[in-house]
Amino acid sequence: MIDCHELTKRFGTYTAVDRFTFSVGEGELFGFLGPNGAGKTTTIKMLTGLLRPTSGTATIGGYDIERNPLEAKKLFGYIPDNPFLYEKLTGREFLDLMADLYGVIHRDRTKRITDLLRLFDLEEKGNEMIQGYSRGMRQKISLAGALIHSPKLILLDEPTVGLDPRGSRTMRDVLTELTKRGVTVFISTHILEIAEKLCDRVAIVNRGAIIAIGTVEEVKAQAQNAVEFPPDHAPTLEEVFLALTGDTNTLDLGDYLGE
């Protein structure tokens, strides 16, 4: 569903994404992990056509995102970390607008909108303006909008930010169910526990480079070959991530607490 070859983005002399080559298959839940500034959001923006690569290619469902943007964009839904929403629309009106943009036929959209509002516990808020929604509710209405046209691919940039525990659980359940139905999910997240439990494969990126890719167990094996862990210790994905990205420093709070 996603195929990137030597995908590169430079801003002046700074290389934000350096020759990313990877593929994501249909029905796969793929985790894109990395510290702030690693190149995750830049990559997603190139995949969605919001940024033009300096070099290399990205295809969605076989369509080059630069050469065939409309065909590629029909196949996916995208939820950025801070989604733009029309605050003077109600949730229901927003979903109706998204249905118009994606060409969802009218006889299908009413039921689909109602089902999506119910799925994300927004049915009672569906006729209220989005300007009154909490951060978590905005995340949920954004995901509902991205699902309105039954896409084959969902791209999510930090989708659980602002969600309460129930909302996070709903998000995880929805993503899992989507992959069972053959939808590909590409998710960028800082919550490594979610990635470890949900993702079929993950890629760890750091300073614009992919430094590990594979199943969680494969990535752990790659890390154990590169980093020394205590004997007989099975590292978590979080420990692997911190070791590979060089973020293993600990903070001595005693200095700050006067101890």
What is the spatial distance between Cα 115 and Cα 110, in angstroms, rounded to a whole number? 9
Residue 118 in any domain: the answer is yes
Residue 244 in any domain: the answer is no
What is the spatial distance between Cα 247 and Cα 259, in angstroms, rounded to a whole number? 25
Residue 156 in any domain: the answer is yes
CB 156 within 8 A of CB 168: no
Residue 247 in any domain: the answer is no
Domains in the chain, number:
1
CATH assignment of the domain containing 200: 3.40.50.300
**Which residues form the domain of 36?**
2-230
Which has the closest alpha carbon to 163: 154, 155, 172, 176? Answer: 172
Residue 6 in any domain: the answer is yes
pLDDT tens, position by position, for the chain (259 residues)? 999 999 999 999 999 999 999 999 999 999 999 988 899 999 999 999 999 999 999 999 999 999 999 999 999 999 988 888 999 999 999 999 999 999 898 888 899 999 999 989 999 999 999 999 988 888 889 999 999 999 999 999 987 766 777 777 888 888 888 999 999 999 998 778 878 888 999 999 999 999 999 999 999 888 877 677 777 777 888 888 888 887 544 445 555 555 5
Residue 245 in any domain: the answer is no
